[in-house]
A and B are shown apart, each in its own frame.
Chain A
Amino acid sequence: MAAPNTRLDRDEIVAVRQPLTNTPQRRAMLGKLKRRPSVRNSLIALLVITLIGLCLPFFAQQDPYDLTSFSVMDNRMPPMSESFDGMVFWLGTDGQGRDMLSAILYGMRISLLVGLVSTALALIIGVSVGLVAAVLGGRIEALLMRLVDFVLGFPSILVALVLLAMIGRGVDKVILAIVMVQWANYARIMRSSALSERRKEYVEAAHNLGYSTGRVMFRHVMPNSLSAVLVLATVQIASAITLEATLSFLGVGVPVTEPSLGLLVANGFDYLMSGAYWISFYPGIALLILIFSLNLVGDRLRTALDPKRS
């Protein structure tokens, strides 16, 4: 469950630096994306997952986080069995009597939430730091970039584990931990894009027009250097979700009474030897589909935005 390597190399960064406007290139890119059925399928899968996540109460027959809605008397029921009040457990129940299907749907929602929110926050922090470093330069740049090096120097899972051990568990804390380990990636990429952008003539022109540094930074440099970071972000969502699942699997992520996909897999892990495969198998499949779709979309987006590849 290690996070996939999502750092882009320099060639790719340069390649995707062009801003997206309504140009022939853009049409070509979209065309490239559309032609690939795998992308379409991933997008559909993602859309379905997001939809289910948004209107969960319609799909889940039970609220797995409400301790009163299930009973330990129903625990470890195989798929398709029925509880005494007639509810069918399509995918069985876990060790506490939770309906696995409901738990998976809710778990997916947590995973998506963690992925999106933490990526958005890390993106904001990383982009600001990278931009400030590139535009201001000098000591500030040195300081910020050494900080980035410092953060990137530690394995992310280790940092997240230590952080969570200190601040306790909870969805908000997991998000915080993920942001703490991921922002540096964006800062690094943002700085390099912004650096090359900064030396361009239009930036010089803006400076000569007397615009403030802040305006030049955010209105001119940032929009033009953002595309590489955005591509990285699509891949990072998947890696954030994986990280959350890993942390929960290791028992430091979300609380045990509010299982995410990773925690469901971990819970079922104990029952693998006794034949209750469904407790970790189905959440595992759900996690697989979610991450696979995200990675595929991110990866194809990267290819499509690369003008050097056809």
Chain B
Amino acid sequence: MNYKKTQACAVAALATALGATSLSAQELTIGLSSEPTAVDPHYHDLTPNNQLGMHIYSMLATPDANLMAQPELATSWEAEDDNTWVFKLREDVKFSDGTDFDASDVIFTFCRVMNNESAIGSTGSSVVSNFESVEAPDPHTLRIKTKQVEPIMPEMLAGVPIISDSIVEHDDITFDLPNDCGVTGTWPSIDDFNVGEAAVGTGPFKLEKFSKGAEISLMRNEIYFGTQPDWETVTFVPVPSDGPRLAGLLSGDYDMIESPAARDVAQIEENEAFEYVSTPSNRVIFLQMDIGRGDSPFITTEDGSNPFQDVRVRQAISMAIDRQAIVDRIMDGLARPAYQFIPDEMFGAIPSPAPMEYNPEKAKELLAEAGYPDGFKVTFHATNDRYINDSQIAQAVAQFLTRVGIETELDAMTRSMFFSRRSGREFSFSMGGWASSEGGAASFLRQYAVTTDDARGVGGSNYGDWSDPEFDAFVLEAISTVDETKRSELLQQAEQMAVDKLGFIPLHFESTLWAFRKGVSYDGRADQFTLAYQVERATE
């Protein structure tokens, strides 16, 4: 809420403090477009949080550019049978507090994920809830038995940051959930991580300070097992507003910024002291409708029905929106219209999906056919500080929908409010974003589209309760199929079905920009992460 005010002050301060550049070689200051909500890596599966987590913690495996798992804390793994995975762990790793890393820490992490009062959504628990048992035959070997077949276990574990068991009092740690896993003290809370006490990891940096709304400072972890990053200290300053963030870069306050606005790119290009990189991302921006409830809180229709339950209405919405106009006019060309939920080149995607047509006339006809010739009223909820140009996109969507007769009132709010209200299923119609990572198409489908099943850890974000048994069967089969070709086929079929039935309406894929001063270089990542340890010091 206070961000904009802070920025206004920041701009004023910048104007006066011009020239105070910190070119000290080992310090890196990055202006973030979106602030992490916590240092707790198991709090909320949100890009800014995961990105910060990757600096402080390591995972058993890490996804490479093609999202395939590469060894990190685990040196190797193999599937002994369909339901058993064995991971060999690195032996030379120490946590930033000096304690040794071993299997006990991993088991503790799994236990914590399942004993996490403060978690929003199913962060990490979607993986761990599938574990039948976890054993450590020796301190550097893990044997995981699963309830359901999980063909992409290493990729899934790449999303679970490992924390140290030294942050709680405990006896022998075993994967014995009913008996607290051998933990005798209190489970760490989100605050324990935020103040830094519990933020002990094996990552390239350690947390120095996390001041919400102000800055996050990290220090190089000198006992990190991997390649040491180029920077001794890294400071992240969240500046959600585009103008001040760019002003901060241009005035030398930041060495690098996330997501400069596409409309400002020309200015960076003209300036010889700065460079930028643009990378197409895996993030899809989509509309989510409340389909489950017959009586939805933010819909007004004449007969009190929920129009979103009719597929024709959803098709009408999709047809009413000119995706190309959004890409051209609001995203300044730095986005791609989305006709499915993951980019065409990803695993399990429809290779070349049919473009979703923009046809307001047909949309009106479809609405009339569905029994809403005069449309209906709906309140549309969106964030205004999370995705690139989110509130602008949401306004344009409201504009397009109102034009075909769906009177759309927009309520754009700050993301912390939006996310907690959305997970409370308070909305009827909202705009979200999802960056697909591990497992390609499975990532979105299992998290958002499948009927919610906490026991299986799927559908955790299906806030609109779209439920289609036929579709579910495809996805659930796909995610337990070991054979890659077959899995890919099943996922494609599931993706096609999701597109046909429009339980969600895809809008576009973001392209991500980074801008930095000369002397710093960054390659850009499809997962949109800004990772300070991959920022290189270029020779000047």
Contact = CB atoms under 8 A, between A and B. Distances in A.
A243 B242 CA distance: 24
A256 B412 contact: yes
B267 A273 contact: yes
Interface string B1-38: 11011000000000000000000000000000000000
Interface stretch (A32-40, A193-201, A246-254): A246-254
B409 interface: yes
A270 B392 CA distance: 11
A260 B329 CA distance: 23
A23 to B, nearest CB: 48
Interface of B (DSSP majority class): helix
Given A72-B326, A72-B329, A270 B243 contact: yes
B293 interface: no
A72 B330 contact: yes
Contact of B242 (A71, A169, A250, A273): A273
Interface in B263-308: 263-264, 266-267
B437 to A, nearest CB: 29
A90 interface: no
Contacts of B261: 270, 273-274
Nearest to B396: A72
A70 B398 CA distance: 12
Interface in A71-96: 71-73, 75-76, 95-96
Contacts of A251: 1, 4, 384, 412-414
A273 B384 contact: no
Contact of B325 (A72, A76, A271, A273): A72
Nearest to B262: A274
Contact of B264 (A161, A249, A256, A273): A273
A257 B408 CA distance: 10
B396 A96 contact: yes
Nearest to A75: B329
A67 B403 contact: yes
Contact of A256 (B241, B322, B329, B391): B391
Nearest to A66: B402
A166 to B, nearest CB: 11
Contacts of A168: 411
Interface string B230-269: 0000000000011100110000000000000101101100
Interface in A254-273: 255-257, 266, 269-273
Interface in B122-154: none
A78 B143 CA distance: 65
Interface in A157-179: 161, 165, 168-169
Contacts of A249: 4
A68 interface: yes
29 contacts: A67-B402, A67-B408, A68-B403, A72-B326, A72-B329, A72-B330, A72-B396, A73-B329, A75-B329, A75-B330, A76-B263, A95-B330, A96-B399, A249-B4, A250-B5, A255-B410, A255-B411, A256-B410, A257-B410, A269-B241, A270-B243, A270-B261, A271-B263, A273-B242, A273-B246, A273-B264, A273-B267, A274-B261, A274-B264
The 8 lowest CB-CB distance pairs between A and B, nearest first, are A67-B402, A274-B263, A273-B243, A72-B396, A67-B399, A274-B264, A273-B246, A68-B403
Given A251-B384, A270-B241, 16 more contacts: A70-B399, A72-B325, A72-B330, A72-B396, A95-B395, A161-B2, A165-B1, A249-B4, A250-B5, A251-B1, A251-B4, A251-B412, A257-B410, A270-B242, A273-B267, A276-B263
